[in-house]
Structure 1
Amino acid sequence: MHTIYDLFGQGQNLTSLQMSLRAIVIFFIALILLRYTGMRVFGIKSAFDTCVMIMLGAVLARAVVGASPFIATVAASAALVVVHRLIARISVSNQFLSHLVKGKPLSLYKDGILNDKNLKRCALSYGDVIEEVRISMSQNNLDNIDEIFMERTGKISVIRKNN
């Protein structure tokens, strides 16, 4: 047991070797925790997912630098991941919770009209919308566009008119 303390240290007076060993262990713990959250953390990211990722990084960093007890930090991180997973699962069947934690898409353009209120809400300009149309649809105007949405992930989706 004394060897573990020598290798990983205690408190904030850690050597470079101790901090490096802690970082390696935390890396694998973080990998396991992230895999438990599900694949959505690696692909589709909402503000809900991003918030959990930032918090997880901040909490685990405390274990690496010795600012908080190692085991308590890992336990807090695991609790954070379990709560994330629980809320994500419940929000699949509960639309209110889903909209609360993940948001909902906002219409930016429909029937030839830009929705100025939603553009302001998303901090987007007409130029931002046209840029996305150019990138995703390879055109420089809204002529053949039916609808444009700001998705829950922060991406803009463009729907072409059915001609």
Structure 2
Amino acid sequence: MEELIIKIFGEGKELNVYQMSARAFVIYIIALVLIRISGRRTFGKKSAFDNTIAIILGAILSRAVVGASDFVPTVVCCLVLVLLHRLLAMISLHNESFARLLRGESMVLFENEKLNDENMKLGLISKNDLMGDVRSKANINSLTNVKQVYLETSGEISVVEKEKPHK
């Protein structure tokens, strides 16, 4: 049985195209399982906290595909990282200070009819960038009907429109 496994998946760095493809197939399945363990938010929210695990998983799992690292320790390492990510996410649900440390906070870019120049500089957002997002998110071309604009922890801009008077 061991000989068959070695024939299919190879050993070390001397892998043929079929062995590397077999490894890629198995790593793909393992990556899907790890992402499911990690949770939906890993690719949904796209915060720095969540993007970090995706980048690290890709980098480490690729080593198993090309034979640069032993297969089982590589997969176990990734499982440990995914479980750590999930644990930190669970802790952040119950501890707001810890959540802010992991994810950061949203920044107000526009409020009370004024741009917040300091937050715009911190977020590396120009007025043109802000207006482009206001147009695409709220479908308006002016800040006159905007109550607030935020730079969210995901890097997205969100727009809160002023309430329209009732007729």
**Alpha-carbon distance in structure 1 between the residues aligned to 2:100 and 2:37:** 23
Distance in 2 between residues matched to 1:10 and 1:117, nearest whole Å: 55
Structure 2 counterpart of 1:62: 63
Deviations 1:114-142, CA, capped at 9 Å, x for gaps:
11111111111001111111112222111
Distance in 2 (CA, whole Å) between partners of 1:101 and 1:56 is 18
Secondary structure of 2:44's partner?
A: coil
Residue 88 (1) aligns with residue 89 (2): yes
Superposition pairs of residues 46-125 of structure 1, within 5 angstroms: 46-125=47-126
Matches within 5 A, 1:2-17: 2-17=3-18
Q: Deviations over 1:85-104 (max 9, x none)?
A: 00000000111111111111
- 1:63, distance to aligned residue in structure 2 (A): 0.1
Q: Give me the whole-angstrom Cα distance separating, in 2, the residues matched to 1:135 and 1:9.
A: 51
Question: What are the Cα deviations for residues 8-58 of structure 1, in whole angstroms up to 9, with x where unaligned?
Answer: 111111111110000000000000000111111232211111011000000
Q: Write the distance in 2 (CA, Å) between the matches of 1:96 and 1:58.
A: 30
Amino acid at match of 2:39: G
Question: Corresponding residue for 2:148?
Answer: 147
User: Which residue matches 2:31?
Assistant: 30
**Which consecutive segments of 4 or more residues in structure 1 shift more than 2 A?**
none
Q: Secondary structure at the match of 1:42?
A: helix
Partner of 2:134: 133
Q: Kindly report the root-mean-square deviation, in angstroms, between the aligned alpha carbons of the 2 structures.
A: 0.9
| 2: CA distance, partners of 1:17 / 1:137 | 50
What secondary structure sits across from 1:158 in the alignment?
Answer: strand
- Unaligned runs of at least 5 residues, structure 1: none
What amino acid is the match of 2:121?
K
1:153: Cα distance to partner?
1.0
Instruction: Compute the TM-score of the two structures, normalised by the length of structure 2.
Output: 0.95
Q: How many equivalent residue pairs?
A: 163
